[in-house]
Structure 1
Amino acid sequence: MNTQRINLMPRLEGPAVVPASLIKKIKSYRDVCRLALANSRVKNMTRATICERTGMRPSHASDYFSDRDLDERGHEMRDMPAKYIPAFEEAVGNTFVSQWIAMQSQLTILEAQIAEQKATA
């Protein structure tokens, strides 16, 4: 997927929301992570800055945002672990990753909210 800048739906508090029509076009977890970084609120955010804000190891972050799926030896590149998603989305200012994961399970935001309300009732 091309890592172009996308018009996001800003929120007063928290990361911006991505139109669902764009999320549907993203094919892989690695693609969504790269697209989230490319659409950061901070233009030209470096991987070093991402690591400072999220606690990621710089040597691993190179894998997380690589446009290759395999390294020079043919091994799969690392994917960004789920534990970094909240800090990563806060740092880049968008919810690409969370929305993509929710869409993979075919769970809509409204369904998630209804389930939460039923659980707390």
Structure 2
Amino acid sequence: MQELRLLGGVVNGPAFLPTDVIDGCKTYREAVRISWAHRRIKGMTQRTLAELIDCYPPHVSDYLHADDKESRRSLPGDRLNAFAAAVGNWGVQQWLMHQAKLTVMEEVIAQRAA
């Protein structure tokens, strides 16, 4: 796990969420909301998240909104790693791997074989 060194301590990189939390997610958007709900810094605002992942605040509001209307935007794939770093967990990536029925090790093996 990657560590970010700071004055006075260390902040660990993104963590894994419990499997039962991931299993409870039915959709991609729900996985995004669960990851946000389990963010490391509870006081972080959506505006701060937008700055950290280089997105517009209204877009972030769409990503995290409780309804799943078709007019709502979804978190783009190219922002997943920045999102994980900002919220402090790999929840969305875990959900995607779960949907593909892959473990992290299986994914690494598949990439090396390609």
When normalised by structure 2's length, the TM-score is: 0.83
Identity of aligned residues (%): 39
Query: Which piece of structure 1 moves more, 41-50 or 109-118?
Result: 109-118
TM-score, normalised by the number of residues in structure 1:
0.78
- C-alpha distance in 2, partners of 1:51/1:32? 18
2:102 equivalent in structure 1: 107
Which residue of 78, 91, 96 maps to 1:83?
A: 78
The residue identity in structure 2 corresponding to 1:116 is Q
Which one is further off, 91-100 or 34-43? Answer: 34-43
Give the distance between the partners of 1:116 and 1:69, measured in 2 at CA.
33
Amino acid at match of 2:91: F
Say whether 1:98 aligns with 2:87: no
**What letter corresponds to residue 81 of structure 1 in structure 2?**
P
User: What do the CA deviations read for 1:38-79 (whole angstroms, capped 9, x no partner)?
Assistant: 111111210010011010111111111000112xxxx43111
TM-superposition CA deviations, 1:7-60 (whole Å, max 9, x none): xxxx56320011223211211111111111111111121001001101011111
Amino acid aligned to 2:90: T
Task: Determine the C-alpha separation between the residues in 2 that align with 1:25 and 1:107.
Answer: 17
* Cα distance in 1 for residues equivalent to 2:60 and 2:25: 20
Alignment partner of 2:81: what SS?
helix
Residue 5 of structure 1: aligned partner: none
Counterpart Cα distance in 2 of 1:12 and 1:99: 17
Q: Which position in structure 1 is the counterpart of 2:8? A: none
Alpha-carbon distance in 1 for matches of 2:67, 2:89: 23
CA RMSD of aligned residues (A): 1.6
Query: Unaligned 5+ residue runs, structure 2?
Result: 4-12
- The aligned counterpart of 2:59 is 60
Cα deviation digits, residues 68-112 of structure 1 (max 9, x gap)? 112xxxx43111111111101000100000010111111111211
